[in-house]
């Protein structure tokens, strides 16, 4: 009998964990109101820092990277754009739609410092942004 209780407890814990993950997933793609009052969703990102630059990888499958705008304001990287269904899919019967559509915006506080160069590369459904660190007065980054 103790093994049965342990399995039920483990199963209940696993189900609770799955429900929490599902809530987080749903919440991360919920429309939000951002600057300008427009509804938007937030793409997932990875941000890494090396001695030379800050690297940001933004997951944007189906988004034309040339239509994504990136700006830096008050130490915050702002990424915005729009994912639009292709015209041939606009009249299709939708059986499942998990990729959020419409406007997106993501605001990422940057590590302290100055940046003097920006690289943008589209790769494998992601937009890669590299911010080159500018040496501070006195030669330190």
Burial class, 52, CB count within 10 angstroms (exposed 0-12 / middle 13-18 / buried 19+)? exposed
Do you know the residue count of the chain?
Answer: 141
Domain 43-134 adopts which CATH fold? Immunoglobulin-like (2.60.40)
- 3-class SS of residue 26: helix
Residue 69 or residue 89, greater confidence: 69
For residues 131 and 65, what is the distance between their CA atoms, to the nearest angstrom?
Answer: 17
Does this model's pTM top 0.85? no
Whether 74 and 97 have beta carbons less than 8 Å apart is answered as: no
Whether 45 and 58 have beta carbons less than 8 Å apart is answered as: yes
Check pLDDT > 60 for residue 97: yes
Check pLDDT > 80 for residue 21: no
Check pLDDT > 80 for residue 93: yes
Q: Where exactly are the structural domains of the chain?
A: 1-30, 43-134
pLDDT in tens, 26-63: 555 555 555 556 668 999 999 999 999 999 999 999 89
Residue in the structure block whose two tokens are 């938007």: 40
pLDDT in tens, 1-12: 455 565 676 777
């Amino acid at each position: 009998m103790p093994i049965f209780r342990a399995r039920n407890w483990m199963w209940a814990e696993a189900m609770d964990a799955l429900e929490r993950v599902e809530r987080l997933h749903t919440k991360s793609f919920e429309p939000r109101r951002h600057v300008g009052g427009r509804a938007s969703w937030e793409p997932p990102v990875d941000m890494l820092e090396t001695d030379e630059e800050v690297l940001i990888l933004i997951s944007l499958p189906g988004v034309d990277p040339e239509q994504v705008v990136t700006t830096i304001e008050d130490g915050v990287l702002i990424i915005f754009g729009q994912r639009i269904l292709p015209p041939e899919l606009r009249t299709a019967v939708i059986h499942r739609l998990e990729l959020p559509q419409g406007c997106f915006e993501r605001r990422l506080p940057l590590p302290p410092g100055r940046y003097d160069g920006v690289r943008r590369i589209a790769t494998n459904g992601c937009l890669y942004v590299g911010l080159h660190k500018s040496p501070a007065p006195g030669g330190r980054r």
